[in-house]
Amino acid sequence: MSDLLMFVEIPKGSRNKYEYDPEVGAIVFDRYLYSSVVYPADYGFITDTLGEDGDPLDAVTLVSDPTFPGVRIPVRVIGLFKMIDQGEVDDKVICVPVSDPNWKGVETLDDISQQLKTEISHFFEIYKQPEGKVVEVQGFRSREEALETVAAAKQRLKDQG
């Protein structure tokens, strides 16, 4: 699959939860995270997709420095993080920026540190706990499974439209 475009909603290091609102045509502030953790990477979605939860397919992009809401990043998929949020499938595609030399040799999850994988997993395990929301982390999956998930999300959007 050729390079994809990720739409950034939340920059790395933020506790602000922003979401793109298609009705408003802009990014809106959703809430400040109840927990004292920050997003471990830029967070948003893969453009032109529809996830199983009815929203665009979530994406986590490992960046050297945080970007800002509204930026589009050409990304390369390296893996998938599977989870269930409030009983719904809420997978996150793990990506790296195509144009960042610090991530040039990263092709799969095996190419990133265990520490970074632990930070990502830990963040999604606990970030909604203070709100009383139930999240079930199912762990990381291969690049191949991630690419299949992206292809299915692109097809889902086509089928809907």
pLDDT 10s digits, 59-116: 999 999 999 999 999 999 999 999 999 899 999 999 999 999 999 999 999 999 999 9
pLDDT of residue 2: 55
Look up the pTM and report it.
Answer: 0.95
Answer yes or no: is 58 a known binding residue.
Answer: yes
Average pLDDT over residues 125-132: 90
Q: How confident is the model at residue 27 (pLDDT cuts 50, 70, 90)?
A: very high
Residues annotated as catalytic are: 90
Answer yes or no: is 100 a known binding residue.
Answer: no
> Phi-psi bin for 159: left (phi > 0), alpha (psi -120 to 50), beta?
alpha
